[in-house]
Amino acid sequence: MFSGGRAAGGRGAHRNLCGVKPATRIILIGAPVAVAVSMILGVGSEDEIPLADRPREAQNTTAPVQNPLKSGSASERRALEARIDKMPAGLAAPAKKEIAARLVSTAEHSTLNWRGQYDAIEDLGDGNGYTAGTIGFCSGTNDMLQLVEAYTADHPDNGLARYLPALREVDGTDSHEGLDPGFTDAWVAEAGKPAFRAAQDAARDRIYFDPAVRLAKMDGLGTLGQFIYYDAMLLHGPGLEPDGFYGIRQAAMKKARTAAEGGVEKTYLNAFLDESRSAMRSRTGTAQRDTSRIDTAQRVFLRNGNMGLAAPLEWRMYGETFRIPAS
């Protein structure tokens, strides 16, 4: 998704996500999130996973799918799922989810107005092709393809459907072949439709928000911790590699116990943020590795003990101050 701290023309002065997602996320995005979360949390069989979330045959042969968590027996997974369902909504509560969207939008678009970004699309020169929409779906990192596939399944005559063959071909690259010159105009036009805006929200939740929040709850994390997981899932991609979300989580767990394991939540979250920041700073070939979203936002909330992510909130992103007043 958007590459960190990049100064860009147009609606947002900064972009932060696409550029730091490892390219290998294309291999893992279907399997770790859909299959592993299904296995770990007991949310259904592989047949119940949406078609857009299933890895293609070529993906299955490229990298083995490994379980990033302790799966346990089927009955244990069902019991865990039941416990999670009984937990407070946390970041999934409408007011908190709105805060999360606004926080992410400051990192991606340098604005609190996340709803004004559905039609955003540009190539940031970060190696991930076109970056578009509220959370920065990328033509090179598979999530844009998932979005358009799912949207087309429900709305076959949409203006982006004819670009699906090209999106499949450029997936994993920065190429525009088959997309230019009309894809950007088609995206903007489609973003004017409520159905496509809803499809962006649904893809965001299915690929990133819901798995991150449920896993954070499993780890005993409150609302702030759930947001930290969600933002990291967006930033690093739901991959098993060391600089993917699950690799970062695994590294943090080696340094501190999660709250569910009897550890101190703040200690664990600091360890997680350390690993996330290190992954951002260590990537080669990524010119923009600004860590504001950690250093002057999430770490500030954590240091202040705002574990409930309660407004009022004030943070800095790329040197600019943002505020969410108390409701």
Active-site residues, by number, are: 108, 126
Q: 10 Å Cβ neighbour count for 154?
A: 11
Residue 43 near residue 37, CB atoms below 8 Å = yes
CA distance 223 to 231: 12
Task: State the alpha helices, DSSP H only, in the chain.
Answer: 25-28, 30, 37-41, 57-62, 74-86, 94-109, 143-154, 164-170, 183-191, 194-204, 210-218, 223-236, 245-255, 265-282, 292-293, 299-303
Q: 10 Å Cβ neighbour count for 49?
A: 20
Residue 291: CA count within 13 A, CB half-sphere: 15
Between vectors from CA 223 to CA 213 and to CA 204, what angle results, nearest 5°?
35
Kindly give the interhelix angle for 210-218 and 74-86, rounded to the nearest 10 degrees.
100
CA distance 67 to 38: 11
